[in-house]
Structure 1
Amino acid sequence: MLTTDELAAFPVFSGLRPDQLGEVTKHAADIVVGSGQYVVHDGDEAAFYLVISGVLEVVQAIDGVEKKFGERRAGTMFGEIPLTFGMDFQWAARALGPTRVLRLDARHYHALAGEAPEFAKTVRESAEYRVGGPKGMKSLVAERRPPQVTMAGHRYDATCVALRSFLARNQIHFEGVDVDEPGFMDRWQAPMPAEADLPAFRLADGTILAKPPARLLAERLGLQTVPVMMDYDTVVVGGGPAGLAAAVYGASEGLRTLVIEREAPGGQAGTSSRIENYLGFPNGISGDDLASRALRQAKRLGAEILITRHIEKIDADTRAIHLDCGDVVRTRTIVLATGVSWRRLTIEGFDRLTGKGIYYGAARSEASLMQGLDVHLIGAGNSAGQAAMFFANHARSVTLLVRGQSLEKSMSRYLIDQVREKSNIKVALGCEVGGVHGDNHLTDIDIVDRTCGGVRRETCGGLFVFIGADAETGWLPAGIARNERGYVLTGPDLLRAGHWSLDRDPYLLETSVPGIFAAGDVRLGPVKRVASAVGEGSMAIAFIHQYLRDLSGAGAS
């Protein structure tokens, strides 16, 4: 427990009266942590910290890479910047060894500062120095950090587009250079790659990778592709919002948790340019930012996240999961959180130009390609509306092509209002794409206007498709019941369909195979929202605990 004599020995508190020191001891938390434990996380509310003993290191994730900004040793304060400038923490602090820290919340700090102006001045001057000093955060953040990898290729090459999205969604800081642009060699800083080797990648150590598969690229960039263990308490299939929520809650509650993701964490939500109605983010949050935060949280709590891995088979009886390349992991329970995939259009030329001006979904990484162009989006749901708002900040014009006669049936009211207020967004009701044109990349589209019966051709620099999605679950074991569209049946739906054989009722998210659960969009359900997916992912872990308790009880009997 903190004492007034103990506090008076520190210079920052030495000018306080005994009664003021007494107020600090009355309200301050005395925090003791071990090596590697966090005292502050990115996004925490402002508070005053003083290192009593030990050492804290200040770190921040920038473009997915953690950067160290310094250390706080015994007797030094921390948190003066958020308190002085009225902000939440934009960085984290963790112990380098056994460490003891005082924490005074913002309310009690400001009360003390009002009574002790010299103390407040000391804190304020420290904040100003930490920001603007010669080694302050302003100068450190302003430093240009070299990319982890540089990618060379053609702008409209489909493989380049896919790998650019792969890198961005895995929070890899990269630079893309177009071999057709002037000055390419100055930016590439390596021998000219052969056409057959494109896309080529130059790593930070100078290594060149010619047309590497995604897994090799991931491994060379330090991403996890191989499980550490062969046995887990739960394996989560899919790294979207539901899967990451299950990972966070599973790992935090002591379950050995593995997430298997075939591309990048975030799922379909990760391609959303803005989610405006997610609880706790009054100004909205992008899908990849939400995924990035959830990914860091899951890893910090101990979950393993495998990427670029495909599941070839699940043995429903033994809970063995067979991965590509022959790896097999065993688990006591499984959470299916594979989400859904965008529905494909069958218009002639679409497949040929996909990735060359035609895209399914809308990753933020495509924004720079749309600068100053005329962009079209197919769809009338929230995903299309969010993408329209995002691309309107880069494109010359954005046109929403809507087959119906209104947006009200499928788009949230707040988003409809935003779309209508944006001067360079046009909504074309009763319209659909009838044809696409372009040799090496998309140049024009034919728009069929059902209202007037005409067809018009418009210049198009980018066409993004949001026409709904389907569950791709044909690879699942036959014992896992699904409806005619591939959505997994769980809980009461199993009973109604006659696919449950045990004496007990299935848990709400349990599939027809006991111990295998489904969460998020892959599960048959009326609500398809990020918030509901996150809720179901966390609920799945609660049901897993109950299932394991039942299993343990049955074994004991």
Structure 2
Amino acid sequence: MLTIDDIRAVPLFSTLPDSELENLAHTAADLHLCAGEFAVHEGGERALYAVLSGKMEVIKTFDGIERTLGWRLPGTIFGEVPLALSSPFPGAYRAAEASRVMRVDAPQYYALAAASPEVAFKMGALARERIGGLQSLSAEPPKARVTIVGNRWDDACTLLRQFLARNQISADWLAPDAPELAARWSGTCPTESECPALRLVDGTVLSRPATRELAGLLGLQTQPRLAGYDTAIIGGGPAGLAAAVYGASEGLRTLVLEREAPGGQAGTSSRIENYLGFPNGVSGDELASRALQQARRLGAEILVTRSVERIDVETRRIHLDGGDAVHARTIILATGVTWRRLAIDGFDRFIGKGIYYGAARSEASATHGLDVHLIGGGNSAGQAALFFANHARSVTLVVRGDSLEKGMSRYLVEQLAGKSNVAVRLRSDVVGAHGDTHLTAIDIRDSTTGSVSRHDCGGLFVFIGADAQTEWLPSEIARDERGYVLTGDDVVKAARWPHHHRDPYLLESSVPGVFACGDVRLSPVKRVASAVGEGSMAIAFAHRYLQSDGA
């Protein structure tokens, strides 16, 4: 319990009258923190904190790497910058040892400042000083964690660049003939046969590494720590990450298996404007990054570069590529969908060499001054068009239908109309691709007239729908003719529910204890928000299963 003497020991409050100190003692929170426990996380709500005893570490995550920015000792305060700017905390504060901290919530602080101008003056001076420190910190050029040298049209180089971008690892990319290569690559420059070559920030040099090898060297988890888990989530998109957050927060031993990078298709979205709680929109990778940090903080394990080869539904063993296997009491399928491929002669040889399925954001800077085309009339295509319009000379949406409004949200249609370098070609199809080592031109057919015209193309991005890739699932897990997993009533209607003592839960598959959520589940709703909701619901049903079926 806070006392007047505790609070008076903090210089900021030392001159306050006893009445104000008494009020603070009754309204402020008295936090007793163990070593490693957080007083506030990065992005936390504004409040004023005072260290009464112990030692607090100031930390901030830059490009996935945690940095220590300073320390707060007894008598010092923190939170003055968020209060001055009415903003969330720019960094986190963690106890370096057993510590005691007083927290004054924002309304209480503002009331105190109004009654005691001296406190407000001292806080303002300290805030200005520390804002200056933040400005100098932001002026430091960030050092990329990876330097990659390789040809833009090399499949291996494209794969590595996209892997780094999807996992939010900062990377500098240089072509083998770049004039600045010698200055930026310490040591002997890699030869053409050694490319793509990578130099990590610790000096490690790699030549044409596998993504799993690279992931391990960058500190990403690729191996499970346990032999068994309460729930294993296959897929790290919005549904899978939501399940991970809720599963870990409720004390379940939670494992996420992701073959590429967390975020799923949503993670490649340049901007999601209609997700609840983000009034200015949020990029897919930022949303995925926040969810990933949250899941890990709560104790979930997130494995990347790991594919599931098969599931043994009898033993609940999940067999991974590379020969590893884990046991899970419940399994949640959140594998999402894969972009549908165009069946056009010559397209496959340009994949990664100018043709991309989905929004390859790592290619954005390379489209500067070029004419790019996107195929599709849905929200994903609209978001990507807006993103590339900030880089390319022109962006053309090629749409098979006769109206954007039929498949795209109105806010996107309106924003596209306001972009002078974005054009829309309705009732059109791409029917040909041309180039030698990479894509240079495409043929577009007008379905109304039947005429075909050729256009220079610096990049073609395809968003023509998606399919569930579930052929690897065991036959016991029922699916429809398109591969979507049946759950709940759909399982009963298909006469695939084996247990008659109870009905399947809403998100339960034809195998009790195996659930499906997000885009892989048969459902008419395909939205990020609904996937997140289903991911959290799947954990609730997994809990019920564990309690009632005694698995």
TM-score class, shorter: over 0.9
Q: Deviations for 1:271-309, whole angstroms, at most 9, x for unmatched residues? A: 111111110001111111111111111111111111111
1:210 aligns with 2:202: no
| Contact 1:54/1:97 (<8 A) preserved | yes
1:444 aligns with 2:441: yes
Question: Counterparts in 2 of 1:210-289, with a 5 A limit?
Answer: 210-289=207-286
| Contact 2:48/2:106 (<8 A) preserved | yes
Aligned to 2:97: 97
State the alpha-carbon separation in 1 of the partners of residues 289 and 467 from structure 2: 25
Question: Counterparts in 2 of 1:124-203, with a 5 A limit?
Answer: 124-132=124-132, 136-203=133-200
1:290 aligns to what SS in structure 2?
helix
**Counterpart residue type for residue 421 of structure 1:** G
1:224 aligns to what SS in structure 2?
coil
1:62 aligns with 2:74: no
State the alpha-carbon separation in 2 of the partners of residues 417 and 169 from structure 1: 29
Aligned to 2:342: 345
> What is the RMSD computed on CA atoms of the aligned residues?
1.2
Tell me the CA shift for residue 86 of structure 1: 2.2
**Counterpart residue type for residue 455 of structure 2:** E
Tell me the CA shift for residue 498 of structure 1: 0.7
| Contact 1:69/1:137 (<8 A) preserved | no
**Counterpart residue type for residue 25 of structure 1:** A
Tell me the CA shift for residue 207 of structure 1: 2.1
Aligned to 1:474: 471
| Contact 1:490/1:510 (<8 A) preserved | yes
1:368 aligns with 2:368: no
Aligned to 1:453: 450
Aligned to 2:415: 418
Change over 3 Å in CA distance of 1:394–1:36 after alignment to 2: same
Aligned mate of 2:522, from 524, 531, 539: 524
What 5-or-longer segments of structure 2 have no aligned partner?
Answer: none
Tell me the CA shift for residue 449 of structure 1: 1.2
| Contact 1:256/1:303 (<8 A) preserved | yes
**Counterpart residue type for residue 475 of structure 1:** W
**Counterpart residue type for residue 444 of structure 2:** I
State the alpha-carbon separation in 2 of the partners of residues 141 and 160 from structure 1: 30
Tell me the CA shift for residue 5 of structure 1: 2.4
**Counterpart residue type for residue 379 of structure 1:** G
Aligned mate of 2:460, from 458, 463, 467: 463
**Counterpart residue type for residue 257 of structure 1:** T
**Counterpart residue type for residue 45 of structure 1:** E
State the alpha-carbon separation in 2 of the partners of residues 462 and 348 from structure 1: 17
| Contact 1:356/1:442 (<8 A) preserved | yes
State the alpha-carbon separation in 2 of the partners of residues 372 and 71 from structure 1: 47
State the alpha-carbon separation in 1 of the partners of residues 434 and 182 from structure 2: 32
**Counterpart residue type for residue 66 of structure 1:** E
Aligned mate of 1:509, from 498, 507, 510: 507
State the alpha-carbon separation in 2 of the partners of residues 508 and 43 from structure 1: 35
Q: Deviations for 1:331-377, whole angstroms, at most 9, x for unmatched residues? A: 10100000000000111221111111111111332211111211111
Tell me the CA shift for residue 62 of structure 1: 1.6
1:67 aligns to what SS in structure 2?
strand
State the alpha-carbon separation in 2 of the partners of residues 204 and 294 from structure 1: 26
| Contact 1:177/1:188 (<8 A) preserved | no
Q: Deviations for 1:81-118, whole angstroms, at most 9, x for unmatched residues? A: 11112211122111112222111121221111112111
State the alpha-carbon separation in 2 of the partners of residues 425 and 145 from structure 1: 33
| Contact 2:181/2:189 (<8 A) preserved | no
Tell me the CA shift for residue 452 of structure 1: 3.1
Tell me the CA shift for residue 182 of structure 1: 2.0
TM-score between both structures, scaled by the size of structure 2: 0.98
Change over 3 Å in CA distance of 1:495–1:368 after alignment to 2: same
| Contact 1:152/1:188 (<8 A) preserved | no
Aligned mate of 2:540, from 519, 525, 542: 542
State the alpha-carbon separation in 2 of the partners of residues 317 and 196 from structure 1: 48
Aligned to 1:14: 14
State the alpha-carbon separation in 1 of the partners of residues 359 and 391 from structure 2: 13
2:127 aligns to what SS in structure 1?
helix
Q: Which segment drifts farther, 117-126 or 335-344?
A: 117-126
2:364 aligns to what SS in structure 1?
helix
State the alpha-carbon separation in 2 of the partners of residues 445 and 294 from structure 1: 39
Q: Which segment drifts farther, 331-340 or 430-439?
A: 430-439
Tell me the CA shift for residue 487 of structure 1: 0.2
Tell me the CA shift for residue 188 of structure 1: 2.2
State the alpha-carbon separation in 2 of the partners of residues 152 and 190 from structure 1: 13
Aligned to 2:121: 121
State the alpha-carbon separation in 2 of the partners of residues 432 and 527 from structure 1: 27
Tell me the CA shift for residue 453 of structure 1: 2.6
Tell me the CA shift for residue 130 of structure 1: 1.2
| Contact 2:60/2:90 (<8 A) preserved | yes
2:230 aligns to what SS in structure 1?
strand
Aligned to 2:305: 308
State the alpha-carbon separation in 1 of the partners of residues 101 and 492 from structure 2: 54
1:326 aligns to what SS in structure 2?
coil
What 5-or-longer segments of structure 1 have no aligned partner?
Answer: none
| Contact 1:31/1:103 (<8 A) preserved | yes
State the alpha-carbon separation in 2 of the partners of residues 68 and 148 from structure 1: 17
**Counterpart residue type for residue 467 of structure 1:** I
State the alpha-carbon separation in 2 of the partners of residues 41 and 253 from structure 1: 20
1:487 aligns with 2:480: no
| Contact 2:176/2:192 (<8 A) preserved | no
State the alpha-carbon separation in 2 of the partners of residues 55 and 537 from structure 1: 38
State the alpha-carbon separation in 2 of the partners of residues 43 and 452 from structure 1: 55
Aligned mate of 1:386, from 380, 383, 388: 383
Structure 1 segments, 4+ long, off by >6 Å, are: none
| Contact 2:80/2:124 (<8 A) preserved | yes
**Counterpart residue type for residue 516 of structure 1:** V
Q: Which segment drifts farther, 193-202 or 388-397?
A: 193-202
Q: Which segment drifts farther, 186-195 or 162-171?
A: 186-195
**Counterpart residue type for residue 36 of structure 2:** G
Q: Deviations for 1:384-430, whole angstroms, at most 9, x for unmatched residues? A: 11111111111111111110000111111111111111111111111
| Contact 1:272/1:363 (<8 A) preserved | no
2:322 aligns to what SS in structure 1?
helix
